Amino acid sequence: MWNDIFRTDDMNTYTTINNRYIGYHYYYDRSMVSFSLTYRFSSQKSKYQSRSSINEENQRIKNLN
């Protein structure tokens, strides 16, 4: 990814003081280059199944009767 490739973030200011013309050109250098890499260590599904606590509580209540 590369932001502000064409240097578009700039500002021009012009003024006249005591019969002198003064111009300013400001450029804010906000160019940025970033690189991202993603890697999966394993694409296998987990062999352990998660158990819901709600199911455990329902079983416990049924066993009380």
**pLDDT digits over 47-64, tens only?**
655 666 677 777 778 877
| Residue 59, C-beta contacts closer than 8 angstroms, at least 6 positions apart | none
Between CA 57 and CA 6 the distance in angstroms is: 62
Enumerate the domain spans of the chain. 1-35
Which tops the pLDDT comparison, 65 or 25? 25
Q: Which pTM was predicted?
A: 0.33
Identify the pLDDT of residue 14. Answer: 92
Q: What is the pLDDT of residues 9-54, one digit of tens each?
A: 788 999 999 999 999 988 777 777 788 888 877 766 666 556 666 7
Burial 22-59 (b: 16+ CB within 10 A, else e): eeeeeeeeeeeeeeeeeeeeeeeeeeeeeeeeeeeeee
